[in-house]
Amino acid sequence: SGEEQSPHLFQFHEDGFLVLEQFFSAEECDSMRSQMRRIVAEMEVPPHCRTAFSTREEEQLQAQGSSDYFLTSGDKIRFFFEKGVLDEKGNFVIPKEKSVSKVGHALHAYDPVFKQITHSPKVQELGRKLGLERPVVVQSMYIFKSLLAVTPHQDATFLHTEPLGRILGFWIALEDATQENGCLWFIPGSHTNGIARRMVRAASGASTCVEFVGSEPAYDDKQFIPLPISKGGLILIHGEVVHKSELNSSQSSRHAFTFHVMEAKGTTWSKENWLQPTPELPFPSLYT
């Protein structure tokens, strides 16, 4: 019933995030992890990772290959690597499964396990409780979170809509996320001031594939609160709430599966976003 849910949802509108512990079962988390092990075991190293470049021109070609690979990943399952894990021939210098930083951006569409999780009855019911009328799934990512910190940002910087306030992230902990292994940190209430910057597709012929308009302000570290969460927990993330993660200083990994939903009713998806729906994959409805 809507009644008992309201304190939760009030909290979400107040803070810009909501922690729902034990949303998914341990079995569901393990099925995602073992599926990802299979996907990584079968992966081919993308061509742009294999070029040993000796000239400036080859270097630019590689950078172009790398940006095309990213820009056209919206309707595919693609691999993004940690720095320095491949030698110039494209061979791994560390174990393959430790080399990947994330896999995206259409797991929700093309992989049966991730598709089932994204559209699971629990998620659809939550969408209805949040009052989403025409939610569509715009992208998904499996994040390995090895070492690096993720600087403070707002998801709407990368996924811009008119009006704002139509993007919602679902972040699922596939292992316990702790302060030691890089849990998320948020500034409560920071989702009400619009966005600080936008990432847009660069004009064709530019040297980079995307550029930033505006700049991320210096946030006060003391305003962030950590949100440790147990395996199976879900964090709902408002598109404009400011969040980050610190570096993973532990020996343990911190895998997560995340996807973003847009309320499509009365909303325009920016043509300047890096990610665009394609004829092969228009954004699928969250509701089945």
Q: Decide if 19 is inside a domain.
A: yes
pLDDT block averages, 10 residues each, the chain of length 288: 64 97 98 97 90 81 89 96 86 89 97 98 96 98 85 97 98 96 97 95 82 93 98 98 93 94 98 96 98
pLDDT at 253: 87
Tell me the C-alpha distance between 237 and 15, whole Å: 10
Q: Decide if 71 is inside a domain.
A: no
Q: How many domains does the chain have?
A: 1
Q: What is the identity of the amino acid at 194?
A: G
Q: Decide if 53 is inside a domain.
A: no
pLDDT at 6: 64
Q: Decide if 124 is inside a domain.
A: yes
Q: Decide if 61 is inside a domain.
A: no
Locate 6 and state its tokens. Answer: 């309201």
Q: Decide if 282 is inside a domain.
A: no
Cβ density class 1-16: b for 16+ within 10 Å, e for less: eeeeeeeebeebeebb
Q: What is the identity of the amino acid at 133?
A: E
Here the CATH number for the domain that contains residue 198 is 2.60.120.620
Q: What residue numbers bound the domain in which 231 lies?
A: 7-26+105-269
pLDDT at 223: 98
Instruction: Report the candidate in 10, 16, 8 with the shortest Cα–Cα distance to residue 188.
Output: 16
pLDDT at 3: 47
